């Protein structure tokens, strides 16, 4: 008897379309030491849309001095040439942020909390419970205005302050966000600790209580497990994944968090498995090149690095 194989299910079952949510201009850039000029950000976002990415989190209407890297959110949205069919979103922490986003003609917003109380306190200066009450009117008002709202749950697989996190903690917060009226919840491994085993345990617990088709998985590649975790997500039927071009980013409130899963590495893997994303991988590399010139370090995406040294090889998929 051969052991039960799981990998063929990834290519056989479920929908073949995968949606990649590009969060580089927000989650990526908020954790870069350097300040990227507004014009470069705009060029980067336009290049991402040109590559075929249909959902781009372009900036954040948080307190400007809390995240100075994104203090130019208004200017970014004002200067951006928006491509039809692309949804540009922004993170908002409160009603002030929502109104700034509306004034900037932002289509969709994201609100954010976490699975652990200490992380929420550090991030937005209130308890986890208070954050849910605080976001209720924001979500309601955004929905009334026809915006899609995504809810982020950070620290689902581990917290820089509290350590281990149970599946129950993240699931309970995601349930509450859906009750508030968000259309999608992004499940975040903020510090990149999840292994495929953790993701299996989490999704087994979650599938009984949450609509998996309304979940996105958001992995950071701190310990090299992000792509393996994506494979587990695919097997459970998850079809939305967050990533950052070049593997930009981290989180300033999560010490030690390194870059997100890179969009290029995700696309290469998805396309190799036969999934359709509608995104042109070679053009994502071009977008990463736009931002790379402004950074003080090499972009960590493995595909991006391979493409740079071996541009004559048949790399794109």
Residue 108 near residue 149 (C-beta atoms within 8 A)? yes
Does 219 sit near ligand COA (CB under 6 A)? no
For Zn ion, which residue of 22, 27, 72, 264 counts as binding (CB under 5 A)? 27
CB of 282 to Zn ion, least distance (A): 25
Closest CB to ligand COA among 5 and 65? 65
How many residues make contact with ligand COA (CB under 6 A)?
Answer: 18
96 by DSSP, 3-state: which? helix
Nearest one of 159, 30, 138 to 93, comparing CA atoms: 138
251 part of the active site: yes
In whole angstroms, how close is the CB of 204 to ligand COA at the nearest point?
27
Distance CA 8, CA 265 (A): 20
Number of residues located near Zn ion, criterion CB under 5 A: 1
Is 29 in contact with 299 (CB distance < 8 Å)?
no
Among 63, 130, 136, 306, binds ligand COA (CB under 6 A): 63
**Residue 67 interacting with ligand COA (CB under 6 A):** yes
Please tell me the distance from the alpha carbon of residue 259 to that of residue 293, in angstroms, as a whole number.
17
3-state secondary structure 226-245: HHHHHHHHHHCCCCEEEEEH
Q: How many CB atoms lie within 10 A of CB 292?
A: 19
Residues 173 and 167 sit within 8 Å (Cβ to Cβ) = no
The active-site residue, picked from 153, 251, 270, 307, is 251
Residue list 245-264, contact with ligand COA (CB under 6 A): 251, 253
Residues 261-290 that bind Zn ion (CB under 5 A): none
- What does the binding site for Zn ion look like in residue numbers (CB under 5 A)? 27
Residues that bind ligand COA (CB under 6 A): 30, 60-63, 66-67, 93-94, 96-97, 100, 112, 123-125, 251, 253
């Amino acid at each position: 008897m051969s052991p039960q194989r799981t990998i063929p299910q990834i290519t056989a079952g479920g929908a073949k379309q995968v949606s990649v949510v590009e969060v580089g201009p927000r989650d990526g850039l908020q954790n870069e030491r350097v300040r990227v000029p507004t014009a470069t950000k705009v060029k980067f976002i336009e290049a991402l849309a040109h590559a075929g990415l249909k959902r781009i989190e372009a900036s954040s209407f948080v307190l400007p001095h809390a995240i100075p890297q994104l203090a130019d959110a208004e200017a970014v949205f004002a200067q951006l040439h928006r491509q039809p069919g692309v949804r540009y979103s922004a993170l908002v922490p409160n009603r002030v942020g929502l109104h700034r986003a509306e004034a900037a003609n932002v289509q969709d917003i994201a609100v954010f909390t976490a699975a652990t109380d200490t992380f929420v306190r550090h991030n937005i200066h209130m308890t986890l419970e208070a954050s849910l009450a605080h976001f209720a009117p924001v979500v309601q008002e955004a929905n009334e205005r026809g915006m899609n709202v995504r809810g982020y749950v950070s620290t689902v697989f581990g917290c820089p302050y509290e350590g281990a996190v149970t599946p129950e903690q993240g699931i309970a917060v995601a349930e509450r966000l859906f009750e508030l009226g968000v259309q999608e919840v992004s499940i975040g491994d903020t510090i990149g600790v999840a292994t495929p085993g953790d993701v299996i345990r989490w999704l087994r617990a979650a599938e009984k209580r949450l609509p998996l088709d309304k979940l996105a998985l958001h992995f950071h590649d701190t310990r090299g497990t992000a792509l393996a975790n994506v494979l587990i997500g695919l097997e459970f039927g998850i079809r939305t994944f967050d990533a950052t071009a070049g593997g930009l980013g981290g989180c300033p409130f999560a010490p030690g968090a390194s870059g997100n899963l890179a969009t290029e590495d995700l696309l290469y893997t998805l396309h190799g498995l036969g999934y359709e994303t509608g995104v042109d991988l070679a053009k994502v590399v071009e977008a990463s090149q736009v931002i790379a010139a402004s950074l003080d370090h090499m972009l960590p995406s493995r595909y991006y690095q391979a493409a740079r040294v071996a541009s004559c090889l048949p790399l794109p998929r």
